[in-house]
Structure 1
Amino acid sequence: MIDLATWNLSVPVGNPPATITTPQLLNGYKNNYFHSHTGTLFFWAPVTGSKTENAIYPRSELRETRSDGALRNWLYTASDNFLNATLTVNQVPSSGKVVIGQIHAFQSTQPMLKLEYQYKASKGSGSLVAKVRLRPHENSRVVTIAENVPLGKSFTYVINLTPSGTLKIKAANKLWARDISATWRTKPLYFKAGAYVQDNTGNSREGAQVTFSKLDIDHNKL
């Protein structure tokens, strides 16, 4: 079973969308948008779902917390920070795009990193694309990490932000690394993972479905 003791969950229902607390998750919470009783984590985000504040797309997505359910935010200089996942993208919307992992910045609308699966029907496969802001106030740059990642097939990613400020992304056995600006040092960060669909048009059967067979966070102290 995947440990849900350090996550809460946003699901795209209600106005504003519902937040499921850490204790609720540990108590076996499930609905059409999320469940964990099979030993894997199932996420479903229809394009017609409700949206969080300042977002234009729906999400069924976990957000990092402490074990008591309080929001966890961290400074990258304090530890070696990892988000490890093994997952399958089962369905994509007509845009072909779903965000499957993030490093977000606390009280900001702009994350440091979005890791996105982008499916191309013409190729019959997808790419893993990182949208990265190396400085807090710059526009994100787009980096293709891996290509020829099949829809419906399991793959692994590891997002690592080191205490010296090196951002490393290993996805589908490909590695990319770059140093971020020291101007991030004072910005509290947190991990997110799930299905953040990058589309908001279509019917209720269109959306992103993602299944995680492994998901964990490590903050290894220096």
Structure 2
Amino acid sequence: MIELAVWNLTIPVGVPATVIDTPELVGGYQSDYFKSSDEMIRFWAPVNGTTTEDAIYPRSELRETYGDGSLHNWTYPSADNFLRAALEMDQVPSTGKVVIGQIHAYKSTSPMLKLEYQYKTTSQTGNIVAKYRKNPDSTPQVITIASGIKLNERFTYSIHLSPGGMLSVTTYGKTWSNSVDSTWKAHPLYFKAGVYPQDNSGYETEAGAATFYRLEVEHRTQ
């Protein structure tokens, strides 16, 4: 069972986009954009959906919270921080790009990490790409971690940010790691997961969609 009591949900409806708070999510919220059961969660976000403030793309995406719905932000030196998922990509927009996991920075438009599935029509497979900021003001580095992942093929990913500032991503049998700059230490961070299509042009039938079979966060203190 995927624990929903540590998340809220943004869906691409309303202006700005609507946030479903944690108690409502735990209470059994279902919609076209988010369907959950004991075994899985399915996210769907059409390219013509609405966006959050300061964003240009729609999303159906979870964001870390506490059980009462208040936002859960953390600084990386305080714990070993993990986001783990098992999922399959069901649909991609015409750009082929969908963000499936993030380490975001509170009150910032510049996340530390975006983990992105990038589908290539020529090979009919996708790459898993990390877009990583060494420090809060840097331009993202783009690193291809794994390739050859088909639509509807189940795979896993794990994101780990250690108290010492080592960031690693493991997916599809491959691992990438790098240290973050100490200027990130004071920045409140939080995990996100779901589908965040990197596309905002087209009809409602064009969308990002994924089914998650496992999704968990852990902040492991010594």
The AA in structure 2 aligned to 1:49 is G
Q: Which ranges in structure 1 are unaligned for 5 or more consecutive residues?
A: none
**TM-score w.r.t. length of structure 1:** 0.99
Structure 1 position 43, deviation (Å): 0.3
Correspondence for 2:121? 121
Structure 1 position 151, deviation (Å): 1.1
Correspondence for 1:86? 86
Aligned partners of 1:110 and 1:38: how far apart in 2? 34
For residues 54-101 of structure 1, the C-alpha deviation after alignment (integer angstroms, 9 at most, x for no partner) is: 111000000000122100000000000000000000000000000000
After the TM superposition, which of the residue ranges 37-46 and 64-73 deviates more from structure 2? 37-46
RMSD: 0.7
Instruction: After TM superposition, list the pairs within 5 Å mapping 1:132-151 onto structure 2.
Output: 132-151=132-151
For residues 184-213 of structure 1, the C-alpha deviation after alignment (integer angstroms, 9 at most, x for no partner) is: 000000000000011011101001011100
Correspondence for 1:52? 52
For residues 11-55 of structure 1, the C-alpha deviation after alignment (integer angstroms, 9 at most, x for no partner) is: 001111110010001010000000113621110000000010111
Instruction: After TM superposition, list the pairs within 5 Å mapping 1:153-164 onto structure 2.
Output: 153-164=153-164
Correspondence for 1:213? 213
Instruction: After TM superposition, list the pairs within 5 Å mapping 1:174-185 onto structure 2.
Output: 174-185=174-185
Instruction: After TM superposition, list the pairs within 5 Å mapping 1:52-71 onto structure 2.
Output: 52-71=52-71
Aligned length, in residue pairs: 222
Instruction: After TM superposition, list the pairs within 5 Å mapping 1:71-82 onto structure 2.
Output: 71-82=71-82
Aligned partners of 2:195 and 2:38: how far apart in 1? 18
Structure 1 consecutive aligned stretches of length 4 or more whose deviation exceeds 4 Å: none
Q: Which ranges in structure 2 are unaligned for 5 or more consecutive residues?
A: none
The AA in structure 2 aligned to 1:10 is T
